[in-house]
A and B are shown apart, each in its own frame.
Chain A
Amino acid sequence: MKSNGLVSITDYSKDDILHILDLAEQFEKNPNTRLLEGKLVATLFFEPSTRTRLSFETAVNRLGGRVIGFSDAATSSSSKGESLKDTIKMVSNYVDLIIMRHPVEGAARYASEVAGVPVINAGDGANQHPTQTMLDLYSIKKTQGKLTDLTLSMVGDLKYGRTVHSLLMAMRYFNPRYNFVSPPELRMPEQYRAFCKENGIEYHEYEDMNRILNETDILYMTRVQQERFTDPVEYEKVRNTYSLHNSMLEGTKDNLRILHPLPRITEIAEDVDDNPKAYYFEQAKNGVYARQAVICSILGLV
């Protein structure tokens, strides 16, 4: 499945997704291999994201590859006004694969068109972050034993949350049922509700999280960001309403697992962490395996 990279989750078919998830399972069993021996990978982070960068760099290092790059645009020549095209052209002379994060939407697609080597999108503004989606899918499959016929409840900022949008689209192959729980101002956008209708996916919208907890298989929590609100009083109200506490998990299904792309602030209380249904830290760990799978697949090494 050698390709010119992974920019958007929509680049992957159902078979591609299942193939990557199988590979990720193999890497989990045996994370240290020499598959990337002799290969050089660039991690170009035009905006800082320590969590994502460390996950990718761990994946490369555990595969025996080497990494060059920068973790902040301030330390790169783009701060001198170099165009994205020139930076990408230059770096693609040096390496076998580019992993990039950029605050501008579509930057990774553009980079993949001008680079001579494959590009993996590690987040382009509010648009896409496909390896996050792959690790979410892997976490769902691992905890539920399957991807099909599950009830997923997405809670919090459904308007700007790019992880929920990508997950929503990727799950279309697996007959999901969705609950969208958010304040009215952060409702799931029309584009994605229309997507559900076109694909015959059942969804329901709620403002109260308590109404859906007992029927949920996967509870996908997201962070509500203060900057989305003009009125600080509104923000405080919403922040407290969309907060999960351990006591709320009584009566929920045994197979329920709680996911969160992290970092979490107040949307999951710390008393949830010790509940066996909390899965967000393992979810982050799964990111390394999912990224190992994506990298090796793109380079045609597996």
Chain B
Amino acid sequence: MKASKTELIVRALENGTVIDHIPANRLFKVVSLLHLDETEDKITIGNNLRSEKLGTKGVLKIADRYLQPEELNKLAILAPNAHISIIKDYQVVEKVRLSMPNDIVDVLQCVNPMCVTNKEHIATRFHLLDAEKGTVKCHYCERVINREDCILK
């Protein structure tokens, strides 16, 4: 019953993107990351839905929009296990798998207040250390940061 409902809404999207399996506590961060709070696109937001993998999850359906590579990179940091489906003419035409990029440019802000990126006008840059643990290292101040502590720019 539940599956068919989900399917129904996906089908209801003529063209656009579905982001599924977002951890429930990150859903609204994803919303602001993709600037969905400022868009005029039609959006469906579901949260605290039951998920066998995550316990609870969030789902986003965005009409008439396809995510750009840099948006996918940002999403990979917030919700690395999200499922992304690209819908065209009511059909899932592509599933995108997210992966943390090796070089994360100008997406995160360094948590170190003494880092040069917080003092001068510079694009931030982080190197992925461990994709599984989600640790990144600031290219400038060399501070190692865990995914949970990452701040989006």
Interface residues of A (CB under 8 A from B): 8, 10, 83-85, 103-107, 109-110, 124-128, 191
Contact = CB atoms under 8 A, between A and B. Distances in A.
A100 to B, nearest CB: 12
B121 A106 contact: no
Nearest to B116: A106
Interface string B109-148: 0001011110111100000000000000011111110000
Mostly helix, strand, loop or mixed at chain B's interface?
Answer: loop
Contacts of B142: 8, 10, 105-106, 127-128
A8 B140 CA distance: 10
Interface residues of B, number: 16
A161 to B, nearest CB: 15
Given A83-B121, A110-B122, A105 B144 contact: no
Contacts of A127: 141-142
A104 B116 contact: yes
Closest A-B pairs by Cβ, 4 of them: A106-B140, A105-B141, A106-B116, A106-B141
Interface in B20-42: none
A109 B139 contact: yes
B115 A84 contact: no
A191 B116 contact: no
Contacts of A106: 115-117, 138-142
Contact of A110 (B114, B120, B144): B120
Nearest to A125: B114
Contacts of A126: 114
Contact of A105 (B112, B121, B122): B112
7 contacts: A84-B120, A105-B141, A106-B141, A107-B116, A107-B119, A110-B122, A127-B142
Nearest to A105: B141
Nearest to A111: B116
A85 B139 CA distance: 17
A52 to B, nearest CB: 19
Given A8-B142, A106-B139, A107-B119, 18 more contacts: A84-B119, A85-B120, A104-B114, A104-B116, A104-B120, A105-B115, A105-B140, A105-B141, A105-B142, A106-B115, A106-B117, A106-B141, A106-B142, A110-B120, A110-B122, A110-B140, A125-B141, A128-B142
